[in-house]
Structure 1
Amino acid sequence: MSTSQSLQSPSFEAVMRGRRSVRSYDPTFKISKEEMKELLGEAILAPSSSNVQPWRFLVIDSPELKEKLLPIAFNQQQVVEASAVIAVLGDREGYKLLDTIYTRAFEAGYIPEETKNAMVERSVGMYSSFPDEIARKIVHTDGGLVSMQLMLAAKAKGYDTVPMGGYDAAKFKEAFGVSERYIPIMLIAIGKAAKEGHPSVRLTVDEVTSWNEFNQ
């Protein structure tokens, strides 16, 4: 068990209701590489289109590199105060690993070999022919799924997070050597809150939900 976990894990409801966007962090609190890998290992259990798993992560925990990121993220102080900032990226060519993914599923006994071969051929052909607009939409959707799972997993381990869309994506890619193959989805600051995130309200289920026929 990770040192970040209590003896009794919080309920899922407690995690969902307790997660808040935190923008003030204890700069002395550090998450170890081992704990970060454990957290990311839970995040990547998220679903993805055809199980392509196009998410990629850049964990920025070096003080010098967080300072480098600060102006790119419009000087949001959580960038340097948090234990780390995780850049969630989408790989537009993630389908190139489908043979590896489906082969592992076959070796684990989840699918027969003929199914594996058929899935690889069909999926690689389909994803490699998608227009850029569709490829971007897919990786943005999958990137959102893994990001939410990452934040909930972090809260379950006693960490706090905030998703950040306010940054210059072009400057980020240039500063951190991210090629055009990868699409920045969001930045997620993670650490221990120095000040709790403020409570917020939600629209009711009835205000956002229609049944069988959309009537908003």
Structure 2
Amino acid sequence: MAIVNNDFHEILTGRHSVRRFDPSVKISRDEMKEMLEETITAPSACNLQAWKFVVVDTDEGREKLHKYFMKFNFPQVDKSSAVVLFFGNTLAYKKYSQLWHSMYEAKKVTKEAMEAALNTFMPLYEKADQQMLVADSMVDTSLAAMQFMLIAREHGYDTNAMAGYDATKAALTMGLDPKQYIPVMAIAIGKHDPNAEDEITTSRYPLSELVDFE
């Protein structure tokens, strides 16, 4: 494990968007897989896990991103160690039965619990319209994306969440079916360039403007 920080409060409050990355910092694919293994412990609706990740860490991959990203995100695309694309998978339910059967075979759930879950949730997704499938997958994938950014801090890295791209081209450009895979977010990951100017320190709205108690 490449964990360098187990202080959750520092991970949470120390995370901020970095736009100037140190191009000399490279994250191995083994460590990236470690971080994504941690990422997929994120919660999801009905444990559907309706997400897919594409890790862009080659020059060829970055060229693809240049085709549909806005130019103001090119510094992150070009200088970060990698850009992880988070897509919602609207057809994740098609593997749902297989998932529950594997849980049953591993004795994680009883047969009754498996059948109850499949009989309850599968019909909902099989009959769902595209709007519901997209919404569900975007919520699931957003949770995973936030978790990934915190995990990156745990491993000593910085991130920048990006949505400045042509979403209609994202899946096709990366060789995915655009009807099945919905772009949710792109996250650049690496380390802040120590020679770059300081990043902007943002402020938050007062909690009193955001919270009601009933």
TM-score by length of 1: 0.91
Alignment equivalent of 1:44, drawn from 21, 33, 40 = 40
Map 1:169-188 → 2, pairs under 5 A = 169-179=167-177, 180-188=179-187
Match of 1:17 in 2: 13
Q: CA deviation at 1:43?
A: 0.7
Q: CA deviation at 1:201?
A: 1.0
Alignment equivalent of 1:205, drawn from 204, 207, 214 = 207
Alignment equivalent of 2:26, drawn from 22, 26, 30 = 30
* SS of 1:149 mapped into structure 2: helix
The answer to whether the 8 A contact 1:90-1:139 is kept is: yes
The answer to whether the 8 A contact 1:70-1:80 is kept is: no
* SS of 1:72 mapped into structure 2: coil
Question: Any gaps of 5 or more consecutive residues in structure 1?
Answer: none
Map 1:40-79 → 2, pairs under 5 A = 40-75=36-71, 76=73, 77-79=75-77
Match of 2:154 in 1: 156
TM-score by length of 2: 0.92
Question: Any gaps of 5 or more consecutive residues in structure 2?
Answer: none
Q: CA deviation at 1:142?
A: 0.8
What are the superposed Cα offsets for residues 128-177 of structure 1, whole Å, 9 maximum, x if unpaired?
11111111111111111000000000011111111111101222222211
Match of 2:118 in 1: 120
> Percent of aligned pairs with the same residue?
36
Return the alpha-carbon distance in structure 1 between the equivalents of residues 105 and 15 of structure 2. 38
Farther off after superposition, 104-113 or 142-151: 104-113
Match of 1:95 in 2: 93
Aligned length: 208
The answer to whether the 8 A contact 1:25-1:192 is kept is: yes
The answer to whether the 8 A contact 2:86-2:183 is kept is: yes
Letter matched to residue 162 of structure 2 = M
